[in-house]
Amino acid sequence: NAGVTQTPKFQVLKTGQSMTLQCAQDMNHNSMYWYRQDPGMGLRLIYYSASEGTTDKGEVPNGYNVSRLNKREFSLRLESAAPSQTSVYFCASSELGDLYEQYFGPGTRLTVT
Amino acid sequence: SQQGEEDPQALSIQEGENATMNCSYKTSINNLQWYRQNSGRGLVHLILIRSNEREKHSGRLRVTLDTSKKSSSLLITASRAADTASYFCATDPIYNQGGKLIFGQGTELSVKP
């Protein structure tokens, strides 16, 4: 079991460029999440998908879009990158419900210049 | 907004000592979870405590929850250098749907050999 995988591990973009961060999980989880982590800010939820076919905004959704491609895959797209989106991005998955922990991927370190 | 506030922000101890980290939150919760993050890695779930539980143990970890004070503490006993990491509390507020968690800003623990 690979758990939660993310690609790429590192990326440098110029302002205005677009890119898609990929996430896949092999644990048959219903729910998937995208977070960003900035120094001193903890993790903030960008978007989540409670189950296949549904997506909802989190705390900081502006500038991002998501696609729940199937039960395994949940991608995050930056249409026009800005320096404020420089961050480390984590994908996570869990079973649906109140009593389940989240499993995290290794992260993507994104720099926007 | 940050649901969880952690204290202290940083903690430095000697190997063999105990480490205590605290988390306070603002709204009623279904459960509270603690995660560990090693430098440059994703978060790893440590322990989950339900709102109707007051204390839980897992190996060298002891978690307490006081819902009347809206606070939790994580105690790591007999710490080791390998415990050096950042520790985050995460709450699952009652008003949430979809198992979304709200993370605190974390406590950075350094255990010196």
- Disruptive mutation site among A102, A103, A109 for chain B (greatest number of B CBs within 10 Å): A102
pLDDT per position as a tens digit, B44-94: 999 999 999 999 999 999 999 999 999 999 999 999 999 999 999 999 988
Return the closest-CA partner of residue B102 out of A12, A48, A39: A48
CA angle B33, B34, B37 (to 5 degrees): 140
CA angle A25, A30, A31 (to 5 degrees): 80
| A61: contact with B, CB 8 A cutoff | no
Q: Is the Cβ–Cβ distance between B67 and B79 less than 8 Å?
A: no
| A104: contact with B, CB 8 A cutoff | yes
The amino acid occupying position B92 is D
Q: Judging by DSSP bridges, how do beta strands B10-14 and B107-112 pair with one another?
A: parallel
Nearby residues of B28 by Cβ (< 8 Å), 6 or more positions away: B51, B67, B93, B94
Q: Please give chain A's pLDDT, 113 residues, in tens.
A: 789 999 999 999 999 999 999 999 999 999 999 999 998 778 999 999 988 889 999 999 999 999 998 999 999 999 999 999 999 999 999 987 767 899 999 999 999 99
- Disruptive mutation site among B25, B29, B45, B86 for chain A (greatest number of A CBs within 10 Å): B45
| A89: contact with B, CB 8 A cutoff | no
From A56, which residue of chain B is nearest by alpha-carbon distance? B98
Contact A43 B88 (CB under 8 A): yes
CA distance A82 to chain B (A): 22
